[in-house]
Structure 1
Amino acid sequence: MSFSETAKSALFRSTASIERVVSPSRVARIESATNFLVLQHATALGTVIHATPLIPALHETVPGCRIAVAASGFGLEVLRNNPGIDSLFETPSPLRDLAGAVRALRAQNPFREAPYVTLTPTGNERTKVALQAVLSGAATRIGFTVVPELYRVPMSFDFSRSQIANNLRIVEALGHAVEHFEPQVFFTAEDAAGARRLLVDSGACLDRPFAVFITQTSVTQRKSWRAERFQQIASFLFEQYGMMPVFVGTAAESDAIEKLRGGLRIHSVNVAGKTNLPGLAALMSLAKVGVSLDTGPLHIARAVGLPTVVIAPAWSPPVEWLPVGDSRFRILKNADMPAATPDYIIDEVSVDDVTGALTDLLQVHPRQTESTART
C-alpha cells in the first residue's frame, strides 16, 4: 500500500471513530435495526434490477421495517412503483455532485431523527457513495464498498455467487437467514394502458400474440448474434405460432433495429426508445415469449416473468447475471472461453438451438398475458 493510500485509510478510520463518539444517537444496533436507507446510484440497468430482491427480503426477515431509498439515474425508474419502499427520493449522483447529493439526502432523509442503517448494494462500491452516507449523518453502514474503514460491515463481491445472492448477503449481515428472491419491476395501470397504445400506434394488432426481441447490446460488450439469425427466429415464430415480433431497446439502438427489420418479410414493430422502464415492463407483461441477448432489458423481462430464450456469450459466467435453474428461461451458452476476442460473435448458438428452445418453452409455459400492474 502506498503512503497516500495508507494516509487515506487512516483518515477514514479516524472519521468513523469520531463519528461514533460525536453522534452516538445515530448509531443503530444492527441486530435490532428496523429503519433502512438504501443508496442506489449504480449506473448499469442490470445492477439496479438485481438489487431489487433486497426490498422483499428485508420485509420478510424484519417484519414492520421501514425502507427508504435515495436514488439517481436508473434507480429512480426501476424502483418508482415498488410497494415495498416507504420513501423513494432523488438525489444527484454523488459520483458527479457529492455536495449536492449530501444536501439532498440530509434534506429528504425520513430517518434523520432516528437511528437507521444505510445499505449499499452492488454497483455502489464508490468512495463518493460512502462519503454521501457519512456526510449525511448515517453512522451505521453495511454493504459493498471500496472504503471498508467507513463501514460497520464492509462487503466485497463474491464472484462465485450471483448478483442477487451477493445483495442478499446484506440481509445476512444484519443477522437474518434469507432465501432467494427474484428481481421486481412494478408498473401502474397507466403504464399498462400506455404500452397498449404504443403497440397500436406502432402498427401492432393487439388480437395477435407477440414476441419481444432484444437484439442489441452495449458496444463495449461482446454479446452480439447475427442479424440474419434473428430474422430467421422472427419468421419462425410468425409462421409457427402467428406471433408478431416486437423489437425493444434504446433510442440509440433504433437504427440498427430498423436495418434488421428491413430483412424481414413479415410485419414487425420497433418501439426502441419509446418507453420508460416501467412502460417497457408493462409491454413485456403483454408478450407471450422473449428472445434476448444477455443485456440490460433481459433483466426487465425476468422481473415481469416473461418466458425467454437467452442467447448467452461464451466468455461470461451465467451464475453472475442469468436466471440459472429457472424453468421460465432457456439459457443457450454453448461454449466456454476465458475472455472475448475483439471479433467475437455468439456463432456457437445456432438458429436450430433457439427454435428448439422456443418450442420447448412455449409448451412448458404457455403464458397468459394478463396485466400484473401495481398502482
Structure 2
Amino acid sequence: MSLINKLKGTACAGVMALESGIGRSTRFHEIENFIVFQHAPALGTVIHTTPLFSALKCAVPAARITVVASGFSVEALRNNPNIENLVVTPNPISDLKSSVQLLRRQFPFRNQKFATLFPLGNERMRVTLQAVLSGASSRVGFAVQPALYRIPLEFDKARSQIANNLRIAEALGHAAPHVEPRIFFSEQDEGFALELLAGSGVNLSKPVAVFVTQTSVTQRKSWRPERFRKAAAYLKDRHDAQIIFIGTTAESKAIEELRSGLSFATVNLAGQTNLPQLTALMSLCTVGLTLDTGPLHIGRAAGLPMVVIAPAWSPPIEWLPVNNERFRIFKNADLPTAPPDYIIDEVSVDDVTSALEDLLARFGEERLRLSAAKALQGK
C-alpha cells in the first residue's frame, strides 16, 4: 500500500471515528430527512436521478428532501415538487472551500436525523469532502472512498442508471419500483415555449416533429445528414409535419447546413431555450427523432414519443429507455469500442420512418389533442 493510500485510510478512519456517535445506530428506514448531493457533469446523469426523489416521496410521504447542487443540475431540479429545498453552491470540484462555506451557512436539518445520499455521477472525492466538511454524516450511495460511507454502493452494469439510483432507496429499506425521469416546468416556461413556437410559425393543430441531429464533437454518435433529410421529407410528405431542430447554440451552424438541403421550410430553435423551457417545448410536440445524446433524456422526461438512433458501441441498458412503448430504439450492431471514423450507418432510413409511422399511429392523435388544447389555453 502506498503512503498516500495509507494516509487516506487513516484520514477516513478518523472521520468515521468522529462521526461514530452521529447516527451510527441510525435506522435508515425510519429517516424522513434527506440531503442529496448533485454535482454530476452530464445532463443525462442528473435527469436519471429524478426517479429517486419520486421513490423516496412515495415510500416516505413525509420525506423532506434537500438537494445540494451546482451547474445545470439547478435548472433540471428547480421546479421538482419532490424537492423541498435546493441549496445552490459552487461546484466542489473547482471550488471546494466556497462550496463548503456556503453549505455550512445554509445547512438543513440541524439537530435532526437525516441521511446523506450520493446518486451516480457524484463519485468524486471533492463532492464527498463537501459533505464531510459541512457536517453531512450518515452517507449512503455511490462512493469513490467507501470507507467514508455508512452504506457504499458500486455501479451494477446489469442495471440502468435509473435502476442503480433506485438502489439507494432500497439500501434505506424501501421498495423502489421503476419510475420514469421527470423535469418539471412552470407555467411561465410553458408560456414561453408556446410563444416561441407560434412566433416561429408552428401550428400545434398539425403534427410537430423534433429532430436532434447533433452531439458533442467528442462523441461518435452521428447519423448522416442526408438520412435526417430523408426522414424529415417523409414526415412532411406523409403527415404534413412541421420539423423543428433543437440543440445548443454551438450546434446551430451544423443544423443550418443540414436544413439547407431541404426543399421545404423548417425551424431551428437551437440555443433559444433554457432547460425547463426546452422540456416544455418538447412536451408540446408530437414525435421526436434523436441521437443518443442529452436532449433525448429531456424528451423522455417530457413524455415525448421518440425514435432513438443509438451507436453500436454503447450499452443500451445503461442509458436508453428500453422496453418502453413510447420509444423505438435502433442499435443495429454491436462493437466493443467506437472506431475513429464511426457513423451509425447500420440504422437505415426505412428503419426510422417505419418506427416514426408506428409512433404516430399509436400516440399521434393523443399528442395533437394535448398540444392543441395547450395552444388554446395560451391565447
The reply to whether TM is greater than 0.5 is: yes
Q: Which runs of 5+ in 2 are unaligned?
A: 375-379
* Aligned residue in 2 for 1:254: 252
Contact 1:223 1:346 in 2 (8 A): yes
Determine the C-alpha separation between the residues in 1 that align with 2:342 and 2:180.
31
User: How is 1:146-161 mapped onto 2 (pairs within 5 angstroms)?
Assistant: 146-161=144-159
The answer for the alignment partner of 2:182 in structure 1 is 184
Rounded Cα–Cα distance in structure 1 between residues aligned with 2:78 and 2:335: 38
Conserved? CA contact 1:68–1:88, under 8 Å: yes
Bigger shift: 28-37 or 61-70?
A: 28-37
Distance between the aligned counterparts of 1:135 and 1:26, measured in 2?
A: 18
Q: Distance in 2 between matches of 1:323 and 1:206?
A: 26
Pair 1:194-2:224 in alignment: no
Tell whether the 8 Å contact from 1:37 to 1:68 is kept in structure 2 after alignment. Answer: yes
Residue 308 (structure 1) aligns with: 306
Q: Is the 8 A contact 1:38 1:69 kept in 2?
A: yes
Alignment of 1:60-75 (within 5 A): 60-75=58-73
Distance 1:336 1:51 in 2: 27
Please report how far the alpha carbon of residue 131 of structure 1 lies from its aligned counterpart in structure 2 after TM superposition.
0.6
- Matching of residue 3 in structure 1 with residue 8 in structure 2: no
* Residue of structure 2 in register with 1:138 after alignment: 136
Task: Find the aligned partners of 2:279 and 2:87 in 1 and give their Cα distance.
Answer: 21
Q: Cα distance, 1:266 vs. partner?
A: 1.1
Aligned to 2:57: 59
State the match for 1:233 in structure 2: 231
1:268 matched to 2:278: no
Other-structure match for 2:292: 294
Q: Secondary structure at the match of 2:258?
A: helix
The 2-side partners of 1:19 and 1:100 are apart by 23
Which residue of 1 is the match for residue 367 of structure 2? 368
Alpha-carbon offset, residue 110 of structure 1: 2.3
Q: Counterpart in 1 of 2:341?
A: 343
- Pair 138,351 (structure 1): closer, same or farther in 2 beyond 3 Å: same
CA–CA separation in structure 2 for the residues paired with 1:109 and 1:184: 26
Q: What amino acid sits opposite 2:202 in the alignment? A: A
Moved more, 106-115 or 65-74: 106-115
Aligned residues: 371
Offset of residue 322 of structure 1? 0.4
Evaluate the alpha carbon distance shift between residue 26 and residue 189 of structure 1 in structure 2; reply closer, same or farther with a 3 A threshold. farther
Q: Report if the CA contact (8 A) 1:106-1:112 is conserved.
A: no
Give the deviation of 1:220 after TM superposition.
Answer: 1.5
Paired position in structure 1 for 2:20: 20
Contact 1:27–1:140 under 8 Å retained in 2: no
Residue 82 in 1 paired to residue 75 in 2? no
Distance 2:360 2:44 in 1: 25
Q: Residue 119 of structure 1: which of 111, 117, 120 is its match? A: 117
Query: 1:86-115 deviations in whole A, cap 9, x for unaligned?
Result: 111201110011111111111222212312
1:211 pairs, out of 206, 209, 212, with 209
The secondary structure found in structure 1 opposite 2:99 is helix
Whole-angstrom CA distance in 1 between matches of 2:190 and 2:25: 43
User: SS of the residue aligned with 2:87?
Assistant: strand
Q: Which residue of 1 aligns with 2:167?
A: 169
Distance in 2 of aligned mates of 1:290 and 1:253: 18
Return the offset for 1:144. Answer: 0.7
CA 205–63 in structure 1, closer or farther in 2 if over 3 Å, else same: closer
In 1, the alpha carbon distance for the partners of 2:254 and 2:13 equals 50
1:177 shift after superposition = 1.8
Q: Which ranges in structure 1 are unaligned for 5 or more consecutive residues?
A: none
Normalised to the residue count of structure 2, the TM-score between the two structures is 0.95
Q: 1:273 to 1:27 in 2, by over 3 A?
A: farther
Q: Deviations over 1:106-149 (max 9, x none)?
A: 12222123121110100000001111111111121001110111
Judge conservation of contact 2:89–2:103 (CA < 8 Å) in 1.
yes
2:93 pairs, out of 92, 95, 100, with: 95
Deviates most, 27-36 or 42-51 = 27-36
Once structures 1 and 2 are overlaid, which stretch shifts more, 341-350 or 205-214?
205-214
Q: Classify the secondary structure of the residue corresponding to 2:50.
A: coil
Instruction: Specify whether residues 207 and 338 from structure 1 end up closer, same or farther in structure 2 by C-alpha distance, changes over 3 A only.
Output: same
Secondary structure at the counterpart of residue 77 of structure 1: helix
More displaced, 329-338 or 194-203? 194-203
Kindly report structure 1 stretches of 4+ aligned residues shifted beyond 4 Å: 25-28
Q: CA deviation at 1:156?
A: 1.3
In 2, Cα distance between the equivalents of 1:302 and 1:172?
A: 24
Pairwise CA RMSD: 1.6
C-alpha change, 1:364 and 1:205, in structure 2 (3 Å) is closer
Partner letter of residue 247 of structure 1? F
Q: How far apart are residue 184 of structure 1 and its match?
A: 0.5
Q: Tell me if 1:317 matches 2:312.
A: no
User: Which whole-Å deviations, capped at 9, do the CAs of 1:220-277 have from their partners, x for residues lacking one?
Assistant: 1111000110011111111111111100111111111111111111110011111000
Give secondary structure in 1 for the equivalent of 2:238: helix
Is contact 1:141–1:153 with CA below 8 Å preserved after alignment? yes
Task: Report what 1:331 is aligned to.
Answer: 329
Contact 2:23–2:138 (CA under 8 A) maintained in structure 1: no
